[in-house]
Amino acid sequence: MKDRRYGPKMSQIAGADALSARKRFDDAAEKVLLEQCRRQDYEAFSKIVDAYQARVMGFVRRMLRSEEEARDVTQEVFIKAFQAMGRFDGRSSLRTWLFRIAHNLCIDRARKAQRSLTTVSLEPTEDGDSAFDVPDERWSPQEMVLTQELKDIVEDAIASMSTKLRTVLILHDQEDMGYEEIAAAVDVPVGTVKSRLFLARAHIKKHASEYLDQQVKN
């Protein structure tokens, strides 16, 4: 007997291990799917899961760095989305809304685990919560030829920054979201998104530079 409190399980609608490639809907097709989902149409919702599950999973995995926990949270994202579909007003895109749910769940997990996360200390803001003008200069480790050791250092730097900084970094550089979409997903002003992104990159640059300086000395 199905548990109607939670809607369909991931294994029922897509398969917990079926992380398909990203698909895109045009606005009209997405609107039709959303209307069907509001009528508790599991088949329509499975198409949304197929389209977005891999992207959400990738984001959550980078946030939590635990495969098992990432799968649990990803499943919870879509369960919550299905439950709340009737309240989704369409003012943001479906993708933005799903990442907002994922972001909130990752924050909850971090708080419950009472993780101690290292942040960058850089005036005039703490964690980028006060907006300030910063140049949009990318420092992308993907643009460098990375040794495995440096890759590990970059990953450790990302893991050691605060959840706030890590979120905007992943959404911008991995999910290719613009400032406005990230602001809608995490519910902060655009200026705060820019500040956090600047601090996140400064954090990575500091960690990587220490390693590269050591390599030069050697």
In tens, the pLDDT along 1-14 reads 444 444 444 434 34
| Same structural domain, 55 and 150 | no
Does 126 score more than 80 pLDDT? no
Asked if residue 37 belongs to a domain, the reply is yes
Of 92, 185, 83, 191, nearest to 132 by C-alpha is 191
Q: Which pair of tokens denotes residue 206?
A: 């500091």
Q: Helix, strand or coil for residue 176? A: coil
pLDDT confidence of residue 24: 59
pLDDT, average across residues 167-190:
93
28-49 tens-digit pLDDT: 888 888 889 888 888 989 999 9
In a domain, 2, yes or no: no
Checking if the pLDDT of 18 tops 90, the result is no
Same domain, 140 and 208: yes
Answer whether residue 4 is part of any domain.
Answer: no
Q: Does residue 15 lie within any of the structural domains?
A: yes
Helices (H), 65-189: 67-84, 94-113, 148-160, 163-173, 179-186
The structural domain count of the chain equals 2
| Residue 148 confidence class, pLDDT cut points 50, 70, 90 | confident
Which CATH number is 107's domain given? 1.10.1740.10
Last residue of a domain, one of 61, 93, 113: 113
> What is the residue range of 37's domain?
10-113
Average pLDDT, the chain: 77
Domain boundary among 66, 84, 113: 113
Q: How many CB atoms lie within 10 A of CB 206?
A: 12
Place of tokens 């050691």: 160
Residues 105 and 132 in one domain: no
State whether 205 and 128 are in the same domain: yes
CATH number of the domain at 154, please. 1.10.10.10
